Structure 1
Amino acid sequence: MKLELVQKQTTGLFMTTEMRQAVQMLQYSAGELWEYVQREVDENPLLHFSVDAASMFYKKGASMNFMEEMTPDQASWRDNIEDQIRLLQVSEETKEMLIFLAGHLDDDGFCEASDEETAETFHTTLESARNVRMSMFNLDPEGVGCRNIREYLVFQAVRRFPEDEKLPLIIRHHLDDLALGNWEEIEKSTGIQWEEGEEALFRLKQLNPRPPAASLSPSIPSLPPDLILEETEEGYQLHDPYSMTKYLGWDHELLELYDTNAEAAGFFEEDYKRARWLIQSVESRKNTLLQTAEVVVRHQREFFKGRSLQPLTLKNVADRIGVHESTISRAAANKVIQTPKGLYSLKSFFVTGYQSEDGRGYSSGYVKERIAGMIEGEDKRKPYSDQSISRLLLQQEGLHISRRTVAKYRETMKIASSSRRKDTSKKLHLLHS
C-alpha cells in the first residue's frame, strides 16, 4: 500500500454565516426583525438609529417599549420545532426542506404544504418529500407535520398498538363507517369481523384527535402588520409601515474616522463589514418582501373585490421575481398584511387550484364553495354522493375533481356523508280518486 498526498478540486455549495443569517432574517416578522437589528446596533459602534426611530419604540401616552409590544416574551411551539430541526444530524438539504415544511404548519400542527409542492420546490422525488415530512412526526410535540386527522390517527395507532395491523387499515379507509357503526361495510371490504372491529373502536377512542401543538402556544399579543395595502383613487398601494431602512444608518463621525485613519480602520474593520452587511441585508429583505407581496396582490386583486382567491403557487411568484421558490416561502412565512378586507397572513394567499377544460383557473376554496352549494340545494331524500358531485363539477365547470378529493373537501367543511344527510322520514301520501 502506498500513501500519497493528492490535491483534488471539487465544486459544491457552501453557505457562509452571513448567508445563513440573511436567510433567517427573511423569515423574521416585523417585530423579530426590529429586535434583531436593535441587538446589532447595540453591539456595533458604527451603526445607529435616527432620532425618528426612537419615537417608534413608544406608544403615545404609554410607557410600554415598542419592541416589548411587537415581540412575544416566550418562544412559540413553531420556534421550538425549528430549533429541533437545526439540531438534527441530517443533510443541509433535508434541514432546508424541514424548515420549509415547518413554515407551512397550521395552528393545530398539520402541514398545509402538499408533498407534491415540496418535491417541486426542492426538485426532488415525491417519495423523498414524503419521507422528509414524515420524519417530522418524531419531533416534539409528536405528530406535527401530519397532513390531516386521519394520518395523525394512523401515526398514533402504529406507535401505540404496533401489533394491531387492522386498526390503521380501518382508519385509512373506513373511519366514517367506524363512526357510524357500519360494520357490514367494513366486513365486506376488509373481512374484519365485528369482534375485531369493536376492539379497534375501543383503541381508537384512546387516541388524540389532534396534535397537541395549539395547546403549547403562549398567549401572544396582537402584533402590527408587516405590510399595509391601501385602496386609493389610483388603485391599490402597498407599503412597509415598520421599515427600518430609513432609520438604520451609519454613525458618520466614526465612519469618517474609519475612512481617514489607518489605525482606526484596522480597529473597526470587522464592525464595518458587519454594519455594511446588515444594512444591505435589511434593504434586500425589504425589496424581496415588497416584490413578493406586489405579485401576490396583483394576482389576487379580484379577491379584494369580493371574489374567490385564484390558484397561486410559490413557483408562480418565484418565476415572476426571478428567485428560488424557497426564497418566496421564507418571505411569506410569519408575515401579516393589513388589507381593506382585514388582516391576513401573506401565506394564506397561496392556494392550490385546478384548471378547467377551457383553461380557466379555480382555487380549492372556490371548489369547496361549489361543493357546499350543491349539497345545500340537493334533494335530501336523494342526496348527492361524492362521485355524483365529482361528475357535476365536470359537467358544470369542466373541472376534473376526483371522488376522493370531493370527500376530503367535504370532511374539512364538516359536512356529513350522503348516507348521513339522507332524509329517511316517511311522508304521508294522499290518494285522490
Structure 2
Amino acid sequence: MGLTAKLQLRQSQSLVMTPQLMQSIKLLQFTHAELERFVDEEIERNPLLDRAEPRDDAATDQVQKQQDLAEAASAGDWIEAEGAWTAEAMSDKLDSSLENVFPDDPGRSERLGPDLTAQWKSAGAGAMPAEGFDMDDMAAGAISLRDHVGEQISFALADPARRLIARELAENLDDDGYMRADLDEIAARLGASGEDVADVLAVCQTFEPAGLFARDLAQCLSLQLAQRDRLDPAMQALLENLDLLARRDFASLRRICGVEEEDLLDMLAEIRALDPRPGTRFVGGNADAIVADVEVRAAGDGSWTVELNPETLPRVLVDHIYFAQVTSHAKDQTERDFLSECLQNANWLTRSLDQRAKTILKVASEIVRQQDAFLAHGVRHLRPLNLRTVADAIGMHESTVSRVTANKYMLTPRGVFELRYFFTASIAAAGGGEAHSSEAVRDRIREMIDGEKPADVLSDDVIVDMLRKSGVDIARRTVAKYRESMNIPSSVQRRREKRARVSAGR
C-alpha cells in the first residue's frame, strides 16, 4: 500500500471563547462591589476611559457653558455608557479641577457654614481644609481585639518573658476570642516551659471582657460566671453537661445539678445572658451593605414597575477626542496599535456594561411576572420556580440566568431579597392541582409550631397529616429536614422546654 499526499477541504464549526467574551460572562456574575473594583482597574490601565461622576447643581451652569463651547469648537464625540443606556454627547475633554468648575470659589466657609467655620478658626486649626472636613474622618478608629488585649498585657505583666508569651497567646486568638492553639507547641516555639505558658494563660483569662482566652465554650461561660460570682457547684455541673442542655433534657439536668425546675430555669436565664463569643465585638472592618440591583414598585394600574438601581450602574466615558489627538502624534506603529487596543477595550467595556444591565433587567422582570402573587400577598403565595423556566421564557441559556441571579438583590415592597430566593423547589399537591413552593411550606410549618400548646406539641407525623389535609403532599423526612433547616428542635425537646416553663409559671 503506497503512501500518497492528498489535499482535502473540510467544513466544521467550533466555539471559540475569546478573552473579551470570557470577561463579559464574568461581568454577569459580579456583585456591585466587584463590578466597581473591576471598572476602577480598567480605568487605571486604559487612558481612554474615565468615570463620569455626578456633579452638584452649583456646577451645572458652568459645566454646560464649557460643553457648549467645546461642541462648537471641536470634532469627535464622547460615548457615555450607563449600564442600561448609551448616549452620545458632543463635548470636549473637561478639566475636572475645582479651579475651573468654581473659578471664583466662594471659599470653604460656605461649605462648612458660619458656625463650623468660627469653631474651626477659634480652635486655631489654621487654614481650612480644601474639601471641608468629614466628621467620620475625625472619629476614633475601631479598636481591634489584639490591640485591646495588648493594652491589658502591658499592665498585667511586668516580666518581659511573660509578656512575650502573652503576646504569642494573643496572636493565636480567633475572632470569637478563644485560644484554641496547642499550648505545648507554643511553649516549644518560644523555648518556654509548659507551666509558664499555662500560668500566663491563666492571667490572660482575667482580662476584659470576661471569657477571652477560653479554651472552649464551657470555660468561656465559666469565666464570665466567675466574674459575676455565680459559679457555684450547681452551675459548674450545668456547664459540664452542655450537651444535655442542647438536647433540652431538663429532667437529667435537674438531677445532675440537684436543683428544682424553677432554679434550673433561673440558671438557664443566666446562661442566656452571657456572651458565647466575647471577641466578636472587636472584629474590625465594615461589613458591606447590601445594595439592591433591582427596584420593584407597585404601578397605578395594579402591575409592577421593575427598574435598575442607578447606584449599581457604573458610568464610564470613552474619550474619542483624546484618542484622535494622541494617535495623530504617535511616533511608531507600536504606539498606534496600543491606542487602538485601548479604544477597542474601552468600547467593549461600555457595550458589556450595557448588555449586563439589560440582561439583569430582563431576568428580574420575568421573575416579577412569575412571582406576582408573592409580591401581592406574601410568602404563602410563592410559586415553585426554576432557572430553566425563566430561561425558556426570555430566550436565554439556563447558565446565563444562573450567573445573573448570583449575588444580586431585589428591593420589593416586602423587603430586600436575593434573586435566588425566588427559585424554590416544587412540592406536589395532594390529590393533584398546582404544586406548592418549598419556601411556602416552610412558612406553614413554622406557623404551626409557633401556635402549638405545651400540652399538644405537634410531632412531625402530625404536621404531615395537617399539611396533607390542606393539600400539600409531603413526606415526613421532608418535614424533618425543613424543621431542622429553621433550627427548630424536635417535638420531644420542645415538649420538655414548654412543660418546664409552664411548671415554673413562665
TM-score, normalised by the number of residues in structure 1: 0.53
* 1:370 positional shift: 2.4
Which structure 2 residues correspond to residues 200-349 of structure 1 after superposition, within 5 A? 219-234=286-301, 235-242=303-310, 247-256=315-324, 266-308=337-379, 309-349=382-422
Task: Show CA shifts across 1:90-130 (max 9, x none).
Answer: xxxxxxxxxxxxxxxxxxxxxxxxxxxxxxxxxxxxxxxxx
* 1:223 positional shift: 4.3
* 1:403 positional shift: 0.8
Among 407, 417, 424, the alignment partner of 1:351 is: 424
Residue 53 of structure 1 contacts residue 247 of structure 1 at CA under 8 Å; is this kept in 2?
no
What is the CA–CA distance in structure 1 between the aligned matches of 2:37 and 2:19, rounded to whole Å?
A: 19
Which structure 2 residues correspond to residues 145-164 of structure 1 after superposition, within 5 A? none
The verdict on how the C-alpha distance between 1:311 and 1:218 changes in structure 2, with shifts beyond 3 A counting, is farther
* 1:231 positional shift: 2.8
Partner SS, residue 22 of structure 1: helix
* 1:36 positional shift: 1.4
What is the CA–CA distance in structure 1 between the aligned matches of 2:5 and 2:476, rounded to whole Å?
A: 64
Among 442, 460, 467, the alignment partner of 1:368 is: 442
For 2:306, the aligned partner's letter is L
Identify the residue that residue 39 of structure 2 maps to in structure 1.
Answer: 37
The verdict on how the C-alpha distance between 1:54 and 1:315 changes in structure 2, with shifts beyond 3 A counting, is farther
Larger radius of gyration: 2
Identify the residue that residue 466 of structure 2 maps to in structure 1.
Answer: 392
What is the CA–CA distance in structure 2 between the aligned matches of 1:376 and 1:259, rounded to whole Å?
A: 72
Partner SS, residue 470 of structure 2: helix
What is the CA–CA distance in structure 1 between the aligned matches of 2:424 and 2:289, rounded to whole Å?
A: 25
Residue 371 of structure 2 contacts residue 383 of structure 2 at CA under 8 Å; is this kept in 1?
yes
* 1:247 positional shift: 3.4
- Whose RCO is larger (CA < 8 A, sep 6+)? 2
* 1:382 positional shift: 5.5
Which structure 2 residues correspond to residues 115-194 of structure 1 after superposition, within 5 A? 179=247
Task: Show CA shifts across 1:51-88 (max 9, x none).
Answer: 537999xxx999899xxxxxxxxxxxxxxxxxxxxxxx
Partner SS, residue 54 of structure 2: helix
What is the CA–CA distance in structure 2 between the aligned matches of 1:419 and 1:245, rounded to whole Å?
A: 52
What is the CA–CA distance in structure 2 between the aligned matches of 1:382 and 1:246, rounded to whole Å?
A: 57
What is the CA–CA distance in structure 1 between the aligned matches of 2:474 and 2:55, rounded to whole Å?
A: 53
* 1:406 positional shift: 0.8
Residue 354 of structure 1 contacts residue 363 of structure 1 at CA under 8 Å; is this kept in 2?
yes
Identify the residue that residue 83 of structure 1 maps to in structure 2.
Answer: none
Task: Show CA shifts across 1:175-194 (max 9, x none).
Answer: 99x9588xxxxxxxxxxxxx
What is the CA–CA distance in structure 1 between the aligned matches of 2:132 and 2:444, rounded to whole Å?
A: 51
> Unpaired runs of 5+ in structure 2?
58-81, 83-110, 113-130, 135-242, 250-281, 500-506
Identity of aligned residues (%): 32
Partner SS, residue 268 of structure 1: helix
Identify the residue that residue 211 of structure 1 maps to in structure 2.
Answer: none
For 1:368, the aligned partner's letter is R
* 1:386 positional shift: 2.0
What is the CA–CA distance in structure 1 between the aligned matches of 2:284 and 2:473, rounded to whole Å?
A: 39
Identify the residue that residue 487 of structure 2 maps to in structure 1.
Answer: 414
Among 10, 27, 30, the alignment partner of 1:28 is: 30
The verdict on how the C-alpha distance between 1:233 and 1:361 changes in structure 2, with shifts beyond 3 A counting, is same
* 1:328 positional shift: 1.5
Residue 257 of structure 1 contacts residue 265 of structure 1 at CA under 8 Å; is this kept in 2?
no
* 1:392 positional shift: 3.0
Residue 50 of structure 1 contacts residue 248 of structure 1 at CA under 8 Å; is this kept in 2?
yes
Identify the residue that residue 196 of structure 1 maps to in structure 2.
Answer: none
Residue 230 of structure 1 contacts residue 238 of structure 1 at CA under 8 Å; is this kept in 2?
yes
The verdict on how the C-alpha distance between 1:294 and 1:63 changes in structure 2, with shifts beyond 3 A counting, is farther
Task: Show CA shifts across 1:6-34 (max 9, x none).
Answer: 99998665433222211221111223212
For 2:441, the aligned partner's letter is V
Partner SS, residue 310 of structure 2: coil
Count how many residue pairs are aligned between Structure 1 and Structure 2.
Answer: 279
* 1:251 positional shift: 1.0
What is the CA–CA distance in structure 2 between the aligned matches of 1:225 and 1:417, rounded to whole Å?
A: 37
Identify the residue that residue 15 of structure 1 maps to in structure 2.
Answer: 17
Task: Show CA shifts across 1:341-378 (max 9, x none).
Answer: 33222222222232314432322122123223444555
RMSD, aligned CA: 4.5
The verdict on how the C-alpha distance between 1:37 and 1:179 changes in structure 2, with shifts beyond 3 A counting, is same
* 1:281 positional shift: 0.9
TM-score, normalised by the number of residues in structure 2: 0.46
What is the CA–CA distance in structure 2 between the aligned matches of 1:299 and 1:402, rounded to whole Å?
A: 27
Partner SS, residue 50 of structure 2: strand
